[in-house]
Amino acid sequence: MGNLRKSTDNLWLHSALVCTVAVLILTASRTIGTVGEERDPFDTFVHSVILVGVSYPFQTLFASTAMSMFGAKLPLWLCAIVGCIVAAIPASVLSPTISWVAGVMPTGEAIVETREEFFQNVSSRLHYVFLLFATLGTLFWMLLNYRWWVEHLQGARGTAEQDRQNEEAASADVAHLLRKLPVQKRGRLLALSAEQHYVRVRTEAGEDLVLMPFSEAIASLPNDLGMRIHRSHWVSRNAVDKVKAARSSLMVILENGTELPVSRSFSGAVRETWSDLIES
């Protein structure tokens, strides 16, 4: 869960940086609008923001999807280019529409007064606008985005494969414990809790009590599978959704909503292990 949040944060930061650079390049170079036309700099800037704001989400969606779906069989660069070209279809219609509504279309043949004239004009120039997005737009996306997405997708694949291997190994290690549960409650292990002479075993399929010493249950599990957070509670590393911090106390929240307290003696280890999941 923490890796997912971190990946999402990096994506937003990268996207904001790319869009900013693209807008600045388009605005400074005056590559949009009628050639040789003197335009208000602010209109050029707003027009650039609309072009990038419309095209970038479509390009990223189609290119990253194509790379994810067909990257195992085709070169990633080819998948990205095809995705960007396909994205030019909706962008070439939506971008002029928003620019016209905002009143920042370049003067000349692109300026019209009525909606009917506008759509007639867009239809007649659609091939030109599409070609602009399919060439210049694709070039921008490949230069500013391609390398980042290659590393992102390869990292995601490696993480997914490692998680799969870890889960398979962990499943084999905890099989002896899960066999003590009713069949309908067997699943990925989330946490263990001591309750007198019993151990409450929590899985993604439910929970039940098992008659055995708590210390014996923990000792039978791999050290890297999870950690003890309290003298009566043990949690799987991958089962934690967030950690609530209130004054000097901590509370671990599992992905199924279960809340487990953290004792003072284990608070340091919990803060270090799930530092990116702590919420105050």
Pairwise CA distance, residues 181 & 207, whole Å: 8
Has residue 48 got a pLDDT over 60? yes
Task: Check pLDDT > 60 for residue 240.
Answer: yes
Q: What are phi and psi of 43, to 5 degrees?
A: -60, -40
What is the per-residue pLDDT for 174? Answer: 78
Hunting for tokens 């549960």 — which residue is that?
181
Residue 148, SS3 per DSSP: helix
pLDDT, position 170: 53
Q: In terms of pLDDT, which residue wins out, 9 or 149?
A: 149
Question: Between vectors from CA 56 to CA 122 and to CA 98, what angle results, nearest 5°?
Answer: 35
**CATH homologous superfamily for 183-279?**
LytTr DNA-binding domain (2.40.50.1020)
pLDDT confidence of residue 24: 93
Question: Taking the CA atoms of the chain, what radius of gyration do you get in angstroms?
Answer: 27
Query: What average pLDDT does this structure show over 2-24?
Result: 77
Amino acid at the residue 269: A
| pLDDT tens digits along 106-147 | 655 455 667 777 778 778 888 888 999 999 999 999 999 999
Distance in angstroms (rounded) separating the CA atoms of residues 239 and 236: 5
- φ, ψ of residue 212 to 5 degrees: the values are -175, 155
Q: Quick check: 156 pLDDT over 90?
A: no
Inter-axis angle of helices 76-102 and 115-132, to 10 degrees? 150
Q: Where are the domains of the chain?
A: 2-167, 183-279
pLDDT of residue 268: 93
Q: Which comes out higher in pLDDT, residue 153 or 68?
A: 68
Looking at residue 100, its pLDDT comes to 79
Tokens standing for residue 162: 């490692």
In the chain, the amino acid numbered 84 is: C
- Average pLDDT taken over every residue of the chain: 85
Least confident among 5-9, 51-55, 66-70: 5-9
pLDDT grade, residue 40 (50/70/90)?
confident
